[in-house]
Amino acid sequence: MDLGPIKISKKNLPLIVSLLFLSGLWFFVTETTRIVNPLFLPSPVKVATALSGLITNGLSADVFATVGRVAAAFVLSVSLALPVALLMSESKFFQRLFTPYLDFIRYIPVPVLIPLAILFFGIGETAKIVLLFVGTFFQVALQFEVDLDDVPVDYFDLAHSLNFSFWQRLKMKLLAAAPEMYNNMRISLGLSWSYVVIAELVAAPTGIGHMIKEAQRFSLTADVYVGILLMGLVGFLSDYIFRKSYFKLFPYKN
C-alpha cells in the first residue's frame, strides 16, 4: 500500500520550526551554557554518540523484539475483542455478562499483574505478550462495542426493508462501524506502547525497555534518552501509517 511521502508544506511548518527551536534550545542548554548536569540531561551530541554505539552493539535486535511483542499482543487483542464486542452488541445477555468483567479488569494496573504473569507463564515471551494483551484487550473490546452500538438506526431500518438475512445485517453493521473501530484501533495501539516497558521488565533479554533498564542500572543517561526517543519515533511512525491507511481504506471519509 502506497502511503505517500511525508510532504513538507505550510501545515507542517509549525512542527518543523518547533523541532528546530527545541533542538537548538537543547544544544544551547547542554553544550553552550551547561547549566544542566549532564547526568540529568545529556547533550544532543552525547545522545547521538550513544545512538551510534547502541547501533553497533545490536540496537536493531532490541527494536525488532519490542515491535514484535507489541504487534503480537495488538493483533491478538483486536482478533479477540471483535467477536466479544459483536456478542455484546447483538445480545443483551452477553452484554450484561461481559461488561462487569471488562470494567473490572481494565482498571487493574498492569504492573501488579507481573508476579502472576511470571507464575503462570514463566519469564519467556508469553508472559510479556500476555501483559501487553491485558493492557489492551479490555479497552479495545469496550470501544468496539460502543462503535457497533452507535451505528445509526436508519441502517437497520433499511436492512429490514431490504429483507436482509442475519449475516447480511451483521456485515452491514460491521462495515458501518469499521471507520470508528479503525480509529479506536489506532488509539489502542498507543496503549500497547505505553505498557511495553512494563512488560519487558519480566526478565527480557532484548527489547527497548530492556535496553533502558540496563542503561539506568549503569547511569547511562544518554542511552536512556535514546530508548525514549526511539519509542516515541516508532510510535509516531505507526500512528502515521494508521492515519494514512485510514483515508486509503475509507476514502469516503476524506
DSSP at 203: T
Find where cell 471483535 sits. Answer: 82
Give the pLDDT of residue 254: 64
Phi/psi at 96 (5° precision): -70, -30
Whether 5 shows a pLDDT value over 90: the answer reads no
Whether 3 shows a pLDDT value over 80: the answer reads no
For 59-77, what is each residue's pLDDT tens digit?
889 899 999 999 999 999 9
Whether 1 shows a pLDDT value over 50: the answer reads no
Q: Is this prediction's pTM over 0.85?
A: no
Whether 206 shows a pLDDT value over 50: the answer reads yes
The pLDDT mean for the chain works out to 86
The rounded distance, in Å, linking the Cα atoms of 190 and 79 is 17
CATH number, domain 61-253? 1.10.3720.10
Whether 209 shows a pLDDT value over 50: the answer reads yes
